[in-house]
Amino acid sequence: MASATPHSSSIKASASPNGASSTNSNFSKKPNQISFTSSINPTPISAKICNSNGSPGRSSSVISNVLKIAESTGTAALDATDLRAPTSYGPRPKILVSEKLGEAGLQVLRGFGEVECLYNLSPEELREKISSFDALIVRSGTKVTRQVFEAAKGRLKVVGRAGVGIDNVDLPAATEFGCLVVNAPTANTVAAAEHGIALLTSMARNVAQSDASMKAGKWERNKYVGVSLVGKTLAVMGFGKVGSEVARRAKGLGMHVIAHDPYAAADRARAMSVDLVSFDEAICTADFISLHMPLTPTTKNVFNDHTFSKMKKGVRIINVARGGVIDEDALVRALDSGVVAQAALDVFVEEPPSKESKLVQHHNVTVTPHLGASTKEAQEGVAIEIAEAVVGALNGELSATAVNAPMVPPEVLSELAPYVILAEKLGRLAVQLVAGGGGVQSVKVVYRSARDTDDLDTRLLRAMITKGIIEPISSSFVNLVNADHVAKQKGLRISEERVTIDSSPESPLDSIQINISNMDSKFASAVTEDGHISIEGRVKDGVPHLTCVGTFDVDVSLEGNVILCRQVDQPGMIGLVGNILGQHNVNVSFMSVGRTAPRKKAIMAIGVDEAPRKETLDDIGNVPAIEEFVFLDL
Ligand SMILES: NC(=O)c1ccc[n+]([C@@H]2O[C@H](COP(=O)([O-])OP(=O)(O)OC[C@H]3O[C@@H](n4cnc5c(N)ncnc54)[C@H](O)[C@@H]3O)[C@@H](O)[C@H]2O)c1
Ligand SMILES: O=C(O)[C@H](O)COP(=O)(O)O
């Protein structure tokens, strides 16, 4: 078969907007358009797609996972499950709850899947069991390590953290394994803030120590003289949800409140009459310091010998955030030297801390066993919040509390849904046009849109293009969580370009074009003059279409598989190829011809429901006017 040189121009063969002509099986010829009435409904119904051996291939699950077909209306809705996790579970996914969770949340989970509550699992036991579960729900006591994700063998799709802090979950590992992590960020805020205030006030008045003293039969009124709060300066370190609630309550106690938070908005603080100050100013001027930042590599041990030495002598410290933000040995030294007069701690580097912990045993320290979130109300709220997030994630919804994936508002998702499907299909088609399939390193995606750049979130689209490019040629599973990671691992660089067009911004996108550089194509006509394998697609009436191959305009709806043929443009070609497919019982859904000029080169794009057998493709290849052809498996 001769290989044609790339064409530099395309001459529109029809009056359709992109110049492609659609064809129809009754071969009726309309002015400017040959139409081909397909035997299947043009709206996607059930995309049963087979591999070349005729068995349902991975592509069938891709389609069914991404598309939920509303047969009654003929509309396609996005099931984002495929964006994040394989849907390998049966009708009842299995959910492991490894720490105490409120009953209301358990009920939500039981309504959806099989729930096993196995509290107090050792790390080994968790690793042994995890591969039987689709979801894991934890609080702060379960360490979800890389080994846990490895042991899950790809089954674990979502980890739900029933609370705020996700420092007990190895996020990079979760992302690499394509496992979504969601948390319940709001339901325990008030509980934590109330506990912070409880520790602040009880520390100031020696409540815990004097209680213990009385229970030991003593009456030590002079020993337990406290300090007043009114007029004292409280530094809130971390002015987020809990920090700002603590600030609000402390103001009610008559305290002067300042805060340090490098990321907090000054106007939010100002609205509460709280001054946002530098770290040093906060710790140097405060009488009380309350910690409310997350534990991150930056905040680890941020309270240490050096920072304690800068504090006002006699400062009092409250920690309901995370133990690791304080160097505990340094705090003991600061307490012994009197720089820190008292500390009230709910959280510890190691939980539970050792019985011999000098910090826990220190007479100027009040401790509680990580009780910040432990109110009935907070636990019910957290349980419902996390149960709904986990069920949503297993159902394929994009979560509003995703920690390691973009949070996409539902309205954006529903608007982008058909483009997300188009993006994946274009990725799948493009990579199949590469000679040899693999080795793609550089892909440029061009989005044409009438929308402002910041009014179009392309992360979903990029993830699905990545999925489309990588999955047909590797065993990797790609979803929204791990798309960028897998691309990087495979050495695939995807650059994106936005072209703003003068059109109605009502639809988010006009077209998506995928260009693969520096690769030979098995279909030479897909290569543009500047040497890229290039295809373009659009969404028409909610259905993804392939609209350009190389420099040829075509128009084929991407509902089944596609055959691309380049031929000398001459009468009878559509009938000839249509007949071959018909004789071999291959159902044609769509045909379109794009050509450079009448009786010159033309590309025929044929949508077929079934994957043609080798003999069918051989027969097509034997048609003398056909110069090259390729079968593309969607
Ligand atoms: N003890 C408990 O039971 C309990 C309960 C709830 C929350 N927490 C912990 O409290 C902390 C805060 O929770 P939240 O819900 O308010 O979270 P949040 O994300 O709403 O607030 C955290 C704030 O810390 C700020 N921050 C980040 N780095 C900082 C830094 N280096 N210095 C100062 N501020 C910094 C962030 O900008 C953010 O505003 C978390 O560590 C959480 O795990 C503990
Ligand atoms: O980060 C949190 O939400 C709190 O520390 C609560 O942790 P817990 O769920 O283990 O009580």
Dihedral angle sign, alpha carbons of residues 164, 165, 170, 172? positive
Average the pLDDT over 273-280 and give the result. 96
Instruction: Judge whether 410 and 607 are in contact, CB under 8 Å.
Output: no
Q: Kindly state the percentage of the chain with pLDDT values over 70.
A: 85
Q: Which residues line ligand 2 (CB under 6 A)?
A: 139-141, 162-165, 188, 370, 372-374
Q: Is the shortest distance between the CB of 180 and ligand 1 below 6 Å?
A: no
Nearest ligand 2 atom to alpha carbon 165: 1
User: Measuring from atom 11 of ligand 2, which residue has the nearest CA?
Assistant: 373
ipTM value for the complex: 0.99
Angstrom distances, CA of residue 139 to CA of 99, 120, 144, 167: 6, 12, 10, 11
Which among 245, 261, 348 is the best mutation to test ligand 1's pocket, defined by most ligand atoms within 8 Å of the CB? 261
pLDDT digits (tens, 9 = 90+) for 470-514: 988 777 788 888 888 889 888 899 999 999 998 888 889 999 999
**Which of 239, 403, 378 lies closest to 321, judged by CA?**
239
Residue 460: pLDDT band by 50, 70, 90 thresholds?
confident
Nearest ligand 2 atom to alpha carbon 370: 11
| CA 197 to ligand 1 center in whole angstroms | 15
Helices (H), 85-221: 103-110, 123-129, 146-151, 171-176, 189-204, 207-215
Angstrom distances, CA of residue 225 to CA of 202, 209, 210, 222, 303: 12, 11, 10, 6, 27
Distance CA 284, CA 442 (A): 52
Which pTM value belongs to this model? 0.74
Distance CA 467, CA 579 (A): 35
pLDDT digits (tens, 9 = 90+) for 346-396: 999 999 999 999 999 999 999 999 999 999 999 999 999 999 999 999 987
pLDDT at residue 233 tops 80:
yes
The angle that helices 614-621 and 573-583 make with each other, rounded to 10 degrees, is: 160
Q: What's the confidence (pLDDT) of residue 90?
A: 58
